Each structure stands twice: as C-alpha cells, then as structure tokens.
Structure 1
Amino acid sequence: MMMMMMMMNSRTLLPTVLLLFGLATVFAQSSAPKHVCETKNGTNCEECLKNVTCLWCIKTKSCITYPVKTILPPHALCPLNDARWGLCWMNFQALIITLAVVGGVIIIAFLICLFCCCKCENFGSNRFESKMERQTNKTKTKQEERRAEMKQRHDDIRKKYGLSGQNPYSKFA
C-alpha cells in the first residue's frame, strides 16, 4: 500500500512541478515591464532581436515591441521592407513571402500525395480483385476437371463390373 502511494506521488510530482514552473513563467512575463524593447533603441538589430517580442525598424533605427494584436505590423509603425523580426538579414516582407511559399508547397505536396495514394490504393485493390477472380476461376476449372475424371473412373468401374445399366435408385430422386 505504501509502495502504491509512493508511485502515485511520483506520478503526480512531475505534472505538478511542470504546472508550477509554467505558472511562474507566466507571472514572471506578466510582471515584466511592457516596454523592454523600447529600452534597446540606442543599440543595433542583433541586440534588439535577442528578445523574441521585439521588432527592429531599419528606417527609424528603433526597437519596437511587436504589435501582437495585429498580425502584421502596421505601415505607420514600420514598413514591411524595413522591419526585421527574428533575423536581421531578412526583412519581414521576404519572411512572410518565404513562409507562404513554403506553406503552399507543403500543402500542394500533401494533396498530391493524398491523391496519388488514393489512386494507387484503388489501383492496387483492382489488381487484387482481378487476381482473386483469376484464382477463383482457376480453382473452379480444376474442380470441374477432377469431377469429370472421377465420373469417368466411376463409369469405367461400372462397365468393368457390369453395372453400367440404369441406376436402380434413380427413380427415388
């Protein structure tokens, strides 16, 4: 019983620790100052982009907190050609275009694979069905040949012993 309680405690210990760690992280982020990025205005792009929530604008040479309420930063804040997020060497517009193209290619490749797999599966099942049908026909043919051979042997035996006349039991059938 004591061993079971220790196992139960060890099973609940990890999720509890993870929950507490997550809550501590959320509270630490919410209590952090909202304008961390703006304090790095006098620095360079690399220094600004060390924080994931920051956006570097080349035109104004300023570090801005990324506007998460709007998916893309507004043009008034920083034009997309001059905005840098995540990488200093790639502008935000090129990043968006690249991600859109890669996403489109992945979706198209997935649809092509899905179409080909379904078509190949149907083709494979048609092949399987035709193979089974050929096998069934082959089995029926062999069975009919065996029946004919057995009938021929029975007829030969009847002739040999003089029983080739009408079957006396045929009138009951």
Structure 2
Amino acid sequence: MSGGTAASESGSGQGACSQNTNRTCEECLKNVSCLWCHTSKACLDYPVSRILPPSSLCKLSSARWGVCWVNFEALIITLSVVGGAVLLAVAVCCACCCCRRKRSRKPDKSEERAAREREERRIRQEERRAEMKSRHDEIRKKYGLFKEENPYARFENN
C-alpha cells in the first residue's frame, strides 16, 4: 500500500514538487504546478492563491516558472511591456478608425463656412477684375490705344 501512495503522490501536484528539490530546474518544471528557486535549488509548489510568489518563498529574480532560462522578474517585465504595447496599438487603431469615420461623414460647419467664404472671395475678385478691365479699356479708347482684334471682323460677323 505504501508503494501505491508514493506513486499517487508523485502523480499529483502536492508531493511531486518537493521530490525534485536539489535536482535540475528542467526536472522540476516538468510539472506546471511547480516553481524552481535558483538560489536554494528548491522545487516548490506554486502558490496558486497568489499571482506572484511571496519573497519569503523565493525572490522574483531567482524564481523560475514555465521555463528555466527566464526568471520571474524578467517574465513579468516582458509581459507588461508586450501587454502595454498591444493596448497602445489597439488604442491607436481605434482612434484612427474613429477619426477616419468622422472625416468621411460630412464636412462640419466650420469647413462649410470656410468653403463659402472662399467662393465669395473668388466671385468678388472676378468682379473686380472685370471692372478693372473695363476701366482700362475705356482709358485705352480715350487715348486711342484700344486694339481691336481684327478691323474686318465687324464686317464678317454681319
């Protein structure tokens, strides 16, 4: 009976971790519920009730979980940076989509007003140009400088 109990303990998460103490990190982390402490070379049960293992159990810089080549501190920093970058990218994409949708709807009142003012200025400028041309033509006629396009054109059109 005692042999069956040891086999069942190694298969479950409770006793299996402490059996790998003073062995290698790879052997300890084969069980996903285990945490390897590099400084004490201890294989410990991961404290499931807490997200981060307490420093009394093992310092974050020495703790390994999942893979042996990354300590828990570097894993947390890396995941934080990647998570922040993903959130930032999603926020930028949402902002771009909202701006594009707002721009494509219809021009707002200030844009309509600016377009109306541009059109009014263009019309006033054309009127001024026509007025200046007529004044210049009158002055040219007065001093005999008015050039008719073709003196015979009057006869051809009739």
- Band of TM-score, shorter chain: 0.5 to 0.7
2:93 matched residue in structure 1: 113
2:49 matched residue in structure 1: 69
User: Partner amino acid for 1:81?
Assistant: S
3-state DSSP of counterpart to 1:104: helix
Please list, as runs of the form range in 1=range in 2, the aligned pairs for 1:98-137 lying within 5 A after superposition.
98-126=78-106
Percent identity reads: 48
1:59 matched residue in structure 2: 39
Structure 1 stretches lacking a partner, 5+ long: 1-27, 131-173
Equivalent-residue separation in structure 1 for 2:75 and 2:16 (angstroms): 24
The number of residues matched between the two structures is 99
From 20, 24, 31, give the equivalent of 1:40.
20
Equivalent-residue separation in structure 2 for 1:35 and 1:56 (angstroms): 14
Query: Which protein is bigger by CA-based radius of gyration?
Result: 2
Equivalent-residue separation in structure 1 for 2:103 and 2:50 (angstroms): 48
Residue 117 (structure 1) shift: 0.3
User: Partner amino acid for 2:106?
Assistant: N
Structure 1 vs Structure 2 CA RMSD = 1.9
User: Partner amino acid for 1:47?
Assistant: E
Equivalent-residue separation in structure 2 for 1:92 and 1:33 (angstroms): 20
User: Partner amino acid for 2:55?
Assistant: H
Greater share of helix: 1
Equivalent-residue separation in structure 2 for 1:119 and 1:89 (angstroms): 44
Equivalent-residue separation in structure 1 for 2:90 and 2:13 (angstroms): 43
Residue 118 (structure 1) shift: 0.5
3-state DSSP of counterpart to 1:34: helix
Q: Please give the per-residue CA displacement for 1:99-150, whole angstroms capped at 9, x wherever unaligned.
A: 01100110011011001101001112226xx9xxxxxxxxxxxxxxxxxxxx
From the superposition, tell whether residues 36 and 125 of structure 1 become closer, same or farther in structure 2 (CA, over 3 Å): same
Residue 33 (structure 1) shift: 5.4
Structure 2 stretches lacking a partner, 5+ long: 1-7, 113-158
- State the TM-score, normalized to the length of structure 2: 0.59
- State the TM-score, normalized to the length of structure 1: 0.54
Equivalent-residue separation in structure 2 for 1:32 and 1:90 (angstroms): 25
2:72 matched residue in structure 1: 92
Residue 32 (structure 1) shift: 2.8
User: Partner amino acid for 2:69?
Assistant: W
3-state DSSP of counterpart to 2:106: helix
